[in-house]
Amino acid sequence: MNRIYMDNSATTYLKPEVLDVLIDALKNHNSNAASAHSFGQEGKMDLSRSREKVASLIGAEPREVYFTSGGTEADNWAVHIAKKTRKGKHMITTTIEHHAILHTMEEAIKEGYEVTFLPVDENGLVSPEQVEEAIREDTILISIHYGNNEIGTIQPIEEIGAVARKHKVLFHTDAVQAVGNVPIDLSSSNIDMMSFSAHKIYGPKGVGALFIRKNVKPYPFIHGGAQEKGYRGGTDNLPSIIAFAKACELAEEGMEDHIKRLTSLRDRLIKGLLENIPHSKLNGHPTQRLPGNVNISFKFIEGESILLMLDMQGIAASSGSACTSGSLDPSHVLMGIGLSHEIAHGSLRLTLGDTTIEEDVDKVIEKLPPIIQRLREMSPLYEEEMRK
């Protein structure tokens, strides 16, 4: 069966060019970049060339890019830097962050910090005014994600950053979903720190970066050797970093086309599903939205059962609940935008990527409505509704 992968927000496949670079690097560019001999010197060159490519994608200076093991580490690190270098006990974030920030904040609360979790509106937006009102004398960090991994909403990041700057509060953004999908130019930006990750932009897993603006003092989260100017110990994962750099280079070259193509496929899918399935509703902002993100709630059914039936048709998607992770709680993001438990449970996320073609979109538009109909016919809630 020809399988259709629509879970690109969970992870992306490696682009063939990236895979080639990775394999070559595992064979030929796999030295310890800290060694003094010629192998190490070549590694150092590889590392610095990679840093330039990664920096170029986001309009940063190479020295502002610190390699990490991925987005999660970068998020943890950013919070750590604020705690270690600023005086104060208060931080601001939103209720719909990725767990890499939410759980890090919850840990900080256990250590005695106070955290304001800003609510978002029905589209998933937080406003700069809300952020400004939450700032206190002792606020050390504002951490707000750039684009949401579940509902795709893109936050007014520069406006929020301007508020942070005005009040001289450190501003971090988790841009794991935004980098490569939204043009970002940190050379003229109010962002102080920014997390991103290779495996969400067609690179390998286990590598990412934290951008730390040059006037912000870092503080190590992982202690060890002198790598990353002594701020992040651990032998550089050179092959992965080289492949990450290739992914960044390709993302930069193809950005405009990528955004145009995915936005058009996304809107085709949204329109096709909403038109063909009654009692369905789009989650997240209609336009201020990641190019590949579709998130729709279908009344009267469970997202998990939709997933299983789609999977049987060879279509990979993701649902609005965390059942897969062993919990029955609906997604905190869908609850955060005000959905009821029931509606949140009946939600489906389809995230498109570079391998998605129009035929895939049309196949989903064809296959999904009968699945929803069949599931509804088994649903007592639906039966009740129909009797009304």
Ligand X SMILES: *Cc1c(COP(=O)(O)O)cnc(C)c1O
Q: Which residues are marked as active site?
A: 323
What is d(CA 170, CA 89) in angstroms, rounded to the nearest whole number? 13
CB of 178 to ligand X, least distance (A): 8
Please give the DSSP secondary-structure letter assigned to residue 9.
T
CB of 75 to ligand X, least distance (A): 6
Residue 135 vs 209, nearer CB to ligand X: 209
Q: In the sheet where 65-68 sits, what is the strand order?
A: 65-68, 208-212, 193-197, 170-174, 139-143, 90-94, 114-118
Count the residues of the shown chain that bind ligand X, applying the rule CB under 6 A.
15
SS3 label, residue 196:
strand
CB of 100 to ligand X, least distance (A): 4
Residue 75 vs 249, nearer CB to ligand X: 75
Span 203-222, contacts to ligand X by CB under 6 A: 208
CB of 302 to ligand X, least distance (A): 24
Residue 116 vs 177, nearer CB to ligand X: 177
User: Residue 72, interface with ligand X (CB under 6 A)?
Assistant: yes
Residue 289 vs 299, nearer CB to ligand X: 289
From 52-60, 70-78, 249-257, 258-266, span contacting ligand X (CB under 6 A): 70-78
Q: Which residue is nearest to ligand X (CB)?
A: 71
What is d(CA 119, CA 131) in angstroms, rounded to the nearest whole number? 10
- How many CB atoms lie under 10 A from the CB of residue 83? 17
- Cα angle for residues 345, 331, 367 (degrees, 5° grid): 45
- Cα angle for residues 125, 126, 128 (degrees, 5° grid): 130
CB 182 within 8 A of CB 290: yes
Contacts of 65 (CB under 8 A, 6+ apart): 51, 54, 55, 58, 209, 211
User: Residue 12, interface with ligand X (CB under 6 A)?
Assistant: no
User: Residue 303, interface with ligand X (CB under 6 A)?
Assistant: no
From 26-34, 67-75, 152-160, 370-378, span contacting ligand X (CB under 6 A): 67-75
What is d(CA 370, CA 266) in angstroms, rounded to the nearest whole number? 20
Span 162-201, contacts to ligand X by CB under 6 A: 174, 176-177, 197, 199-200
Binding site for ligand X (CB under 6 A): 70-72, 75, 98, 100, 145, 149, 174, 176-177, 197, 199-200, 208
